[in-house]
Amino acid sequence: TAKQVFRQKLREAKYRKIVQDYGDKVGEIVYGVLEEQRDPFMYFMLAGNIDATLGPKGQVPGEKILPDVSTMLVIEQIAPQSKKGPKIVVSRTSSKIVEKVMEVNIPELEKKIISIEAIAREAGDRSKVALKINDENTDLDLIGSCVGPKGNRINKIRKELHGENIDLIEYFDDPIIYISNALAPALVTAVQIIDEENKLSRVIVPNDQLSLGIGASGQNVRLASRLTGWK
């Protein structure tokens, strides 16, 4: 009985420590070092000697994480109960990872000259990022500034995301223009709003652009739909 009480008190103390250090960081970026890998789980050490668990749903397919290297993670939740007591659950598939990597490599984002309006991500493969210029008086090239001279900025972002493709989309309040942009690289002939309340649209493209608009396994249209919020 004494052993059970002691273990329970220990779990409670550990949970209080986790909540104190990380309770306000759910959904935020943290950095951790891979300590152990027992398929399908990876175990990281965060600042303050706090353990974190990366489950299969939070792992990027095919990504290799080296031990003893600081790795960017997103805190998904703090689970108070498990077999080993309370734990922090982290993710590598969150769109917050793309957002953070872009902010580090594009000064205009950090300075709030450009903002990210939405991200749709299929981790390890492709992301679509909707961008907007906040200063209407600037003559800044929105997409060009994110791509960088000779593509150096976007290439660095892709490298940090282990080759993940990034589609940069200009955001518009007008859903017709926004949907058209989101379906890039396909060229759109027209967008018809069928049901504004339920956000349902019909997109028309030339015959030779149909497969490009849909994308491999429907990925392009699927990401565009998630990015814009329109079916």
pLDDT over threshold 90, residue 96: yes
Query: pTM of the entire structure?
Result: 0.86
φ, ψ (nearest 5 deg) of residue 6? -60, -45
Distances from the Cα of 32 to the Cαs of 20, 54, 116, 195, 230, in angstroms? 18, 11, 25, 46, 36
- The answer to whether residue 146 scores a pLDDT higher than 70 is yes
What pLDDT score does 81 carry? 64
Distance (Å, rounded) from C-alpha 98 to C-alpha 106?
12
What is the pLDDT confidence band of residue 31, given thresholds at 50, 70 and 90?
Answer: very high
H or E segment to which residue 210 belongs: helix 210-214
Contacting residues for 84 by C-beta, under 8 A, at least 6 apart: none
Report the distance separating Cα 94 and Cα 91, nearest Å: 6
